[in-house]
Amino acid sequence: MQITGAILVGANDRTGGSTFQAVDPASGETLSPAFHEASPTDVDAACALAAEAFPTFRDLALDVRAAFLESIAEEIAALGDDLIVRAMAESGLPRARLEGERGRTMGQLKLFASVLREGSWMDVTIDPAMPDRAPLPRPDLRRLNVALGPVAVFGASNFPLAFSVAGGDTASALAAGCPVVVKGHPAHPGTGELVARAVRAAVAKAGLPAGVFSYLPGTTNELGGALVADARIKAVGFTGSRGGGLALVKIASERPEPIPVYAEMSSVNPVVLFPAAARNRGAALGEAYVASLTQGAGQFCTNPGLVIALEGSDLAAFEASAAAAMGKTPAGQMLTPAIHGLYSKGVDALAAHAAVETVARGPVGEGVNQAQGAIFAASADAFASDPVLGHEVFGSSSIVVRARDMDEVKRIIRGLEGQLTATVLFDEEDEELVAEIVPLLAERSGRVLGNGWPTGVEVSHAMVHGGPFPATSDGRTTSVGTLAIARFLRPVCYQNLPDRVLPPALRSDNPYGVARRVDGTMTQA
Amino acid sequence: MQITGAILVGANDRTGGSTFQAVDPASGETLSPAFHEASPTDVDAACALAAEAFPTFRDLALDVRAAFLESIAEEIAALGDDLIVRAMAESGLPRARLEGERGRTMGQLKLFASVLREGSWMDVTIDPAMPDRAPLPRPDLRRLNVALGPVAVFGASNFPLAFSVAGGDTASALAAGCPVVVKGHPAHPGTGELVARAVRAAVAKAGLPAGVFSYLPGTTNELGGALVADARIKAVGFTGSRGGGLALVKIASERPEPIPVYAEMSSVNPVVLFPAAARNRGAALGEAYVASLTQGAGQFCTNPGLVIALEGSDLAAFEASAAAAMGKTPAGQMLTPAIHGLYSKGVDALAAHAAVETVARGPVGEGVNQAQGAIFAASADAFASDPVLGHEVFGSSSIVVRARDMDEVKRIIRGLEGQLTATVLFDEEDEELVAEIVPLLAERSGRVLGNGWPTGVEVSHAMVHGGPFPATSDGRTTSVGTLAIARFLRPVCYQNLPDRVLPPALRSDNPYGVARRVDGTMTQA
C-alpha cells in the first residue's frame, strides 16, 4: 500500500492547499512524503458523506457489521511490515511494542465484532401490552439502543495504532453503527494513511456506502474545531492533553445542538504504598515502580506519576531502590519533539520547586528527544499546598509524597482530582487499612488495582479506562473495553408498532436471537 | 403533618431572610403560610450534609436502600388527604388527577426498590484472571456501577408529586445511592414541604444520615444556580423550560469540575397522520386529538403540539372534527399565572402570524388563568421557513402542517429539532409508508408510538422519556422508567483485589445473588 499524502474523503483521494511532513523523533529528520492539510471543504464533504451513509450503516444486519469490523482487522494485517516500519519511523517506538499494538488493534476490532453478534449492547427490553389492566391498559413497549450518528475521532500520539485511526474509539463507534470521520494525528500521518486505506478497503469489500469512513490529516486546531462544530457530527472521541480535550468540549457545548465529547485527558495515577508492603518488600517495589514509570518513556495515560506513603526508613529504602534503578535505566525515546519539550519543562519546574526534593534522575539521553527519567519527593503539606505538584507531567517523571500518618494519606487522597487509575500496594497485614482507603480511591478513579502497576490496560468486558473529571470529560464511560460502545448509543422506545415497522431486534420472532428483558426478566432467545 | 414554611436541611428546620407564598391559580388568591427562601448558606449546609452522608448511603446493603424507598412511599401515603387538598389548591389540578399522580409517585419508588434488589443496574461484569495466558497473564477484573455523588433535583410545576420532591428524578437518584438536595418548585411549596417531611421521616426511621435528603424552597434563579455550582453536587435532574434547563447546563459546564445535567426541556411531539387513516377515520381521530391536546390544559411535556398530514379533503374532515370538538371543550385551568401568561402570549403570536390560519379556538375560560384551546394550520413551506412555528407553546395549542406529498412530509420531519415523542396514526394500507417514516422519527425522538396519543407515559422498564437536544440536554438517557437510574451511575473496575476489599456485589460469594457477566457470558446467581 502506497502512502500518498492524500486526504481520504470516503472513496476519494483529495489534495489540499498546504502540506506538512512527519518527523522521525529519534533522528529529528523529516520524513517523506508531504501530507495535504484537510480544509473546511474536506470536513464538509466527509461529514456530508457520513450523514448520507448513516441510516444504511446503522441498520445493517448485526452479522454484516461484525464481519466488516473483522475485515478491517484483516486489511490491517495485510499491510504487513510496511505499517510497522513506518510507525517506528514516525513514533520512535520499538518494533516489539508496535507489533504488540497492532495485535491489540486487530483484537479490539474482533472483540467488538463478537459484542455486536452477542447483542446485549442493544439492551433490548420489552414490556408487553396489558390490554385489560385497570384503570388504564398498558401499551406494548419495546426499547433498544441505537447509534447516535456520525462520530469524530481524534487519534492519540502515544498509541499510533491502538488509539488512532482504527483504534478503540473508531472500533467502538463503528460497532455502534456510527460512521467515523478521523482527524489524523500529525505525528504519525503515514501510519494513519496506511490504516485509513485498510479501513477504506474493508468498506469497499463490504459494499458499504463510502461515507462510513473518512480520514482527514492535518496539523491545525482549526481543522479539529471545524469537525466538532459540524452539525452532522453527533459525538466525539478524543485521547490527548487536557487543553486539547477541554477545547473540543467547549466547541461541542456551544453548538446549536450540543453533543457529547469523550475526551480522555490526564491522570497522575496515584499509587498508595502501605506500611507492611513497604517494610516487607520496599526495595523490590522501588525497582518495579521504576520499570513501570520508564516503560515506553513514561508515555502512558496510566503512568504512575504519584506515590503516597508514610515517611520513615521503609519509604527511604523504597526511594533508594527506585533511585538506584532509575540510575541504571537508559533515557527513553519520546514520541515527538513537542512532547519532549513539554516533558523537559515540566521536570525542570519540579526540580526547581522550593518544596520539592529530587530523589533521582536517570541517565541523560544519547540521542535527540529522549526523556531523562525523574523521581521527586515532597511532604504531604507541600503537596497539598501547591496544586501544580498534582498535575501530570507526561513522561517518566513521578513524585513521592511523604505523609506523617494514614490520616494525612487520606487527606491527600481526598484532595486529588479525578484519575484514570489508583493503585494500592499492600501485604496481608495492611488489609484493614486498604479496606478504608480503597473506597476513597474508587470515588476518584475509574479503576482501582492491587499489587500491580497501572500501565497495563486489558481490553476486555470488565475494563474501565475512564474516571471522574479531569481524567476524562465524562466519567460515566470508558474508552477501553467492550463497554466503550455505550458511548455512541441512545435508547429509543417503540410503542404499539407492528413487527414490520420495528427494528429487527424488537420483532416478535427475534431474528438476531438476542437475549431480551421481558417484563423485567431476562430471557434467552 | 404541619406545613411550616421551613427550609429542611437534613434533620433541621431552618428559616431564611425573605419569604414567599403560593397562589391558588384557580382563584388568584394567596395561600398561607409564608415560605422561607433558602439562601446560599442553606445550600452550603445541605450540600455539606449530603457529601457527609454519601459514602454510607452509597454502600448500604441493597435491601436496606430498597426498603428505604418503600418507606418513603408509605410516608407519602400517610400524609393522607392533606397532601391532595394542598396540591389541588396550589396547582389547580383536579382531585382525581392528583390522586392518580400520588399513586404513580408511590409506584415509582416501589419500582425502583425492586430494581435495586434485582441488581442488574450494577451491570456486574467479571473477567477472571488468566495467570497462564501468554505473552502476558490477564489480571482479575471486576466492574460494577457506582453512585456519582450528591444530586440536585429541580421539581416540575406540572407534576407536583410525580416529578417533584419525591418524583422520578429523586427516586432514581436515591435508588442509585446518591443523596438528594431538592430545589423546591415555588408554585407548590406546601405540597413540596409535605412530601419533604415524608422523605425526612423515612430517613429517620431507616436510621440513615440526615444528609441523605434536604429540601430548599425558593423562588430565585440564584438559589438554583448556587446549588448546581456547589462542588459537592455531582449531577442535576431538571424538568422545565428550555431557558431554565439551558441556564443550569451552562452553570454546570463552567464549574471547575463540570457535571452532567439531565434537563427535560421542550418538545412539540409531532404526530404524522397517514393517508388511509385520515380517509378511513379522520373525524374520529380529530376528536381524539383534541382530547389529548386539552387534557390537563395541555400542560404535558408530551402534548401533541404538531400534526403533519397530506392536504386535501380527508385532512379537512380531520380538522373540522377537531374544530368541533375544540369548540365544546371547556377552557382548562392552568398551573400558574406565569404559565398562563406565556401560553396566551404564544397563542396570540401564532394567531397573528401572517402564514398561520386559526382552525379553531376553544371557549373562553370563565375563571382566571384558564387556557383557551387553540388549533392552527400552516403550509409545509410556511412551517419550514419560520422556526418559531416549531417551538413549543406550553398548553393546549397545536398546529397542523399541511403537506403536498410524502416527500414534503419527510422534509418537514428532517427539519425538526429533537423530540420526546413522535406518533404515527395509520391504517394497514399505510404500513409501507409508515416503515419509511418511522426511522426518520426515531432518529429525532426518544419514543415512537403508533395509533395512540403521546400524553400517556408508562413508568416501566422499556419506557424512554428523553430524546435528542433540545427535548433534553442529554439524549442518551430517560427521566421516566427504570433506566433513569443509569443517569446517576458510573462504572468502576477493581483489579486483583481480595474479597474483603471489594464491594459486596463483586465478591466471590455474590452475597446479593445478582446476575453477573463472567468472561462475557451472563450467569445467574
Coil vs helix vs strand at A198: helix
The active-site residue out of B301, B319, B392, B408 is B301
Taking CA–CA distances from A430, the nearest residue in chain B reads B501
Those residues whose C-beta lies under 8 Å from the C-beta of residue B441, and which sit 6 or more positions away, are B270, B272, B413, B422, B424, B448
Q: Supply the DSSP string of B374-386, one letter for each residue.
A: EEEEEEHHHHHH-
Residues of A in contact with B464 (CB under 8 A): 143, 491-493
Chain B contacts of A143, Cβ < 8 Å? 461-464, 483
Instruction: List the grid coordinates of A126.
Output: 420489552
Given an 8 Å threshold on Cβ–Cβ distance, is B493 in contact with A146?
no
Sequence-separated (6 or more) residues with CB below 8 Å from residue B294: B326, B329, B332, B362, B373, B396
pLDDT digits (tens, 9 = 90+) for A403-445: 999 999 999 999 999 999 999 999 999 999 999 999 999 999 9
Question: What residues of chain B lie within 8 A of the CB of A478, using their CB?
Answer: 491
Q: Do B418 and A125 touch (CB under 8 A)?
A: no
**Which residues, including other chains, have CB under 8 Å from residue A253's CB and lie 6 or more apart?**
B249, B253
pLDDT, averaged across chain A: 97
CA distance A486 to chain B (A): 9
- The whole-angstrom separation of Cα B448 and Cα B34 is 44
Are B143 and B122 in contact by the 8 Å Cβ rule? The answer is no
Is A476 within 8 Å of B489 when comparing Cβ atoms?
A: yes
Of B431, B469, B477, Cβ closest to residue A498: B431
Residue B492 touches chain A, beta carbons under 8 Å: yes
* Residue A17 confidence class, pLDDT cut points 50, 70, 90: confident
DSSP per-residue letters across A62-73:
HHHHHHHHHHHH
| Range B305-336 burial, b when 16+ CB lie within 10 A, else e | bbbbbbbeebbebbbebbbebbeebebbbbbb
Size of interface A-B (CB pairs under 8 A): 214
Reduce the DSSP state of residue A253 to 3 states and report it.
Answer: helix
Residue B163's closest CA among B98, B212, B77, B82?
B98
Q: Is there a contact between A434 and B501 if contact means CB atoms under 8 Å apart?
A: yes
Whether omega for the bond prior to residue A33 falls within 30 degrees of 0, making it cis, is yes
Residues 199-228 (B) with a CB less than 8 A from some CB of A: none
Residues of A whose CB is below 8 A from B431:
498, 500-501
Give every CB contact of residue B409 below 8 A, 6+ residues apart in sequence.
Answer: B272, B308, B309, B310, B380, B403, B437
Name the residue of chain A whose CA is nearest to B440's CA: A55
- Alpha carbons A426 and A447: distance in angstroms, whole number: 17
B117 lies within 8 A of chain A by CB: no
Above 90 in pLDDT, residue A106? yes
Contact B141 A442 (CB under 8 A): no
B-proximal residues of A, 130-189, CB under 8 Å? 135-136, 138-139, 141-143, 146, 148-149
Maximum separation of any 2 CA atoms in chain A, in Å: 81
According to DSSP, the β-strands at B180-183 and A7-9 are unpaired
Residues of A recognised as catalytic: 264, 301
Please answer yes or no on whether B494 and A249 come within 8 Å at the CB atom. no
CB contact under 8 A, B466 and A491: yes
In this structure, the strands spanning A235-239 and A357-361 are unpaired
What the block records as the C-alpha cell of B385 is 421557513
* A387 at B interface, C-beta within 8 A: no
User: Among partner residues A143, A431, A446, which is closest to B462 by beta-carbon distance?
Assistant: A143
Tell me, yes or no, if A477 comes closer than 8 A to chain B by beta carbon. yes
Mean pLDDT of A121-133: 98
Question: Which residue from A434, A439, A464 is facing B491, i.e. has the nearest CB?
Answer: A464
Q: Quick count: other Cβ atoms within 10 Å of Cβ B24?
A: 16
Which strand (E) or helix (H) includes residue A287? helix A275-294
Q: Is B126 on the interface with A (CB under 8 A)?
A: yes
Contact residues, chain B, for A176 at CB < 8 Å: none
Looking at the complex, does the CB of residue B56 fall below 8 Å from at least one CB of chain A? no
CA nearest to A417 within chain B: B257
Provide the pLDDT for residue B1. Answer: 81
Pairwise CA distance, residues A413 & B252, whole Å: 24
pLDDT value at position A379? 98
CB B46 within 8 A of CB B181: yes
What ipTM does the predicted assembly reach?
Answer: 0.97
**Domains assigned to chain A:** 45-130+139-265+477-487 (3.40.605.10), 270-450 (3.40.309.10)
Strand order in the sheet with B261-264: B12-14, B7-9, B213-216, B180-183, B151-154, B235-239, B261-264
Cβ–Cβ contact B473 with A under 8 A = yes
Kindly give the interhelix angle for B431-442 and B406-414, rounded to the nearest 10 degrees.
10
Q: Where are the alpha helices (DSSP H) in B8-152?
A: 40-58, 62-78, 81-91, 95-118
Residues 277-296 of A with CB under 8 A from B: none
**CB-based contact, A452 to chain B, within 8 Å:** yes
Q: What are phi and psi of A405, to 5 degrees?
A: -155, 180
Best of A249, A476, A478, A482 to disrupt the B interface by mutation (most B CBs within 10 Å)?
A476
**Cross-chain residue pair A483–B461, CB shorter than 8 Å:** no
**CB-nearest partner of A462 from B439, B493, B497:** B493
Q: What parts of chain B have a pLDDT lower than 50?
A: none
For residue A477, give Cα distances in angstroms to A261, B487, B490: 11, 11, 7
Residues pairing with A262 in the sheet: A237
- Is there a contact between B449 and B288 (Cβ–Cβ < 8 Å)? no
Q: Which residue has the cell 433498544?
A: A144
Active site residue B178: no
The grid cell for A78 is 495485510
Tell me what the mean pLDDT of segment A135-145 comes to.
Answer: 96
- Nearest CA to A426 among A235, A257, A274, A228? A274
In terms of CA atoms, which chain B residue is nearest residue A465? B493
- Report the amino acid identity of residue B344: S
Kindly give the pairing relationship between strand B151-154 and strand B180-183: parallel
B514 close to A (CB below 8 A) = no
Residues in A closer than 8 angstroms to B456, CB to CB, are: 136, 139
Distance from C-alpha of A259 to C-alpha of B179, rounded to nearest angstrom? 28
- Is 90 exceeded by the pLDDT of residue A1? no
Cell 427550609 found at: B7
The nearest CA of chain A is from the CA of B337 a distance in Å of 31
User: Rounded to an integer, what distance in angstroms lies between the CA atom of residue A307 and that of residue A289?
Assistant: 9
Taking CB atoms and an 8 Å limit, are B520 and A464 in contact across chains? no
Has residue A525 got a pLDDT over 80?
no
